[in-house]
Amino acid sequence: MNLIIGSQHITPLAITRTPEGVEAVLQGAAVLTLLDAAFHGAGTIEVLGGDLDRRRMEVAGIEMSGRDTTVTLVCAGPAQRLI
């Protein structure tokens, strides 16, 4: 699974499925892209692949440790329809 944040394809260092969504480990510019989308409305956050493919996500938690940032994302609705 990967993330689509705004128009950017982000490959997390690690991504783990949770009952409500996913936990993704990000570094560097990927963290800033996610924060811009979550808090400044600079695009949506979606999962690409797996059983959550094309599902919109919302940030439920952020934990920073060294260079890694673990972000907890929860589903925010049904999968987006392909046109």
Domain boundaries, the chain: 2-79
The distance from CA 10 to its chain's CA centroid, rounded to whole angstroms, is 8
* Residue-level pLDDT at 54: 87
Q: 48-74 pLDDT, tens per residue?
A: 998 898 899 999 999 999 999 999 999
For 18-55, b/e burial (b = at least 16 CB within 10 A) is eeebbbbbbeeebbebbbebbeeeebbbbbeeeebeeb
Q: Are 45 and 57 in contact (CB under 8 A)?
A: yes
pLDDT band per the 50, 70, 90 thresholds, residue 17: very high
Q: What's the start-to-end Cα distance of the chain, in Å?
A: 22
* Residue-level pLDDT at 27: 95
> Can you state the percent helix, strand and coil of the chain, rounding each to 5?
20, 55, 30
> One-letter amino acid identity for 33?
T
